[in-house]
Structure 1
Amino acid sequence: MQVLVTESLKIPEGINVSINNGKLVVKGKKGELQRDISSIRGIEISIKNNIITIESTFANRKTKSLVYTLLRHIQNMFIGVTKGYRYYLKIIFTHFPMSVKVVGDEVQITNLIGEKNIRKAKILDGVKVTVKGEDIVVEGIDLEKVAQTAANIERASKISGFDRRVFGDGIFIYKKEVIE
């Protein structure tokens, strides 16, 4: 029995999509995103008449889910190159005043629950981080890099060995949005 899965996606105005040497390249007004698709087996991707077609001929459960995952990644790339993504984080401290600053390609957190060492979180390429009072704003066109940078900041401020009901100090993601 042959199972055919075919999904189509119209390319919006102002976006240029190409496939070169196993890389899917999406260009828009905000920039350019690339995704390596050379390792994906059993799926054909074609671009004709401003429509991207993703299809798999002998689709089992795993291959079918891969088709829809790839479709969603391409939609996220479209949103990224036209609008962009933004994550908001809140700096919360109750006992010791925490200091957060951006230095180069990392966020430095000092005086978290009175610690003397500086905690560092990596900022990925193409992501902009700004600290405004008790808020941290993480922006960029690549959803995965923006989300990973926000997660790096949240993870760097995680405290262990204390009662979380008493020591609620840290930096936490509280809002995610598409930039309009």
Structure 2
Amino acid sequence: MTVEIVENTVDIPDDVNLTLQGNKVAVTGPNGKVERDFSHARLNISYTDSMFRVWAENPRKKEASLVNTLTSHVKNMVKGVTEGFTYYLKIVFIHFPMNFQVQGKKLIINNFIGEQEPRTAKILPGVEVKVDGDDIIVSGPDIEAVGQTAANIQQSTHIRNKDLRKFLDGIYVYKKE
């Protein structure tokens, strides 16, 4: 049995402005702007009367599943420019206290497990990083950039060649909003 049309829609709120040029979508709102290029997907995209619509005619399985993927991306873009995304990371150390500095687009971690050389984590564009006591707060309108920045920070304190049950020092994500 074949399906002739698979479609999905997203309602766009009044305080959000969505622009569509070809298959490039830009969403602006109170918290900023997020752009995304969907030209890799062979789907039809339209935007009229605060309704974003994605559909595929005579789709194969991958194209049909891509319809829901694209609408989820647009929903995340709308949520990001209205509410924003926030990741909370906890700083854990046993003996050597770590020091943090945000310099431009890098987070510099000093004195991690007593190392002399500082470790760095890349902060992606559009993401704000705040150090608040034993917490690091990563926030921004783009969910992928916020998540990747949090992952960069967590990976920069990964301990190698030691027993991870004993050496628990590091920075760990504990909450996502």
Q: TM-score range by the shorter chain?
A: over 0.9
How has the CA–CA distance of structure 1 residues 53 and 22 changed in structure 2, closer, same or farther, with 3 Å as cutoff?
Answer: closer
Match of 1:85 in 2: 85
Q: How far apart, in 2, do the equivalents of 1:62 and 1:5 lie? A: 12
Match of 1:104 in 2: 104
Q: How far apart, in 1, do the equivalents of 2:31 and 2:113 lie? A: 39
Match of 1:162 in 2: 162
Q: How does 1:46-125 map to 2 (within 5 A)?
A: 46-125=46-125
Shift of 1:2: 4.7
Deviates more, 1:4-13 or 1:162-171: 4-13
Number of positions where the alignment pairs a residue of Structure 1 with one of Structure 2: 176
Q: How far apart, in 2, do the equivalents of 1:175 and 1:15 lie? A: 27
Q: How far apart, in 1, do the equivalents of 2:56 and 2:48 lie? A: 17
Q: How far apart, in 1, do the equivalents of 2:111 and 2:21 lie? A: 48
Match of 1:19 in 2: 20
Match of 1:34 in 2: 35
Secondary structure (helix, strand or coil) at the match of 1:14 reads coil
Shift of 1:95: 2.4
Shift of 1:98: 1.5
Instruction: Give the AA of the match of 2:14.
Output: E
CA RMSD of aligned residues (A): 1.2
Shift of 1:3: 3.2
**Please, which runs of 5 or more residues in structure 2 have no aligned partner?**
none
> What is the percentage of aligned positions where both structures have the same residue?
44
Q: How does 1:169-180 map to 2 (within 5 A)?
A: 169-177=169-177
Runs of 4+ in 1 over 6 A off after TM superposition: none
**Please, which runs of 5 or more residues in structure 1 have no aligned partner?**
none
Instruction: Give the AA of the match of 2:58.
Output: F
Instruction: Give the AA of the match of 1:23.
Output: K
TM-score w.r.t. length of structure 1: 0.93
Instruction: Give the AA of the match of 1:92.
Output: V
Instruction: Verify the 8 A CA contact 2:23 2:45 in the aligned structure 1.
Output: no
Match of 2:4 in 1: 3
TM-score w.r.t. length of structure 2: 0.95
Q: Deviations over 1:32-57 (max 9, x none)?
A: 1110112211x100112221111001
Q: How far apart, in 2, do the equivalents of 1:64 and 1:22 lie? A: 17
Secondary structure (helix, strand or coil) at the match of 2:55 reads strand
Q: How far apart, in 1, do the equivalents of 2:133 and 2:50 lie? A: 45
Q: How far apart, in 1, do the equivalents of 2:144 and 2:48 lie? A: 27
Shift of 1:93: 0.5
Secondary structure (helix, strand or coil) at the match of 2:80 reads helix
Q: How far apart, in 2, do the equivalents of 1:49 and 1:13 lie? A: 10
Q: How far apart, in 1, do the equivalents of 2:159 and 2:101 lie? A: 19
Secondary structure (helix, strand or coil) at the match of 2:117 reads coil
How has the CA–CA distance of structure 1 residues 57 and 21 changed in structure 2, closer, same or farther, with 3 Å as cutoff?
Answer: closer
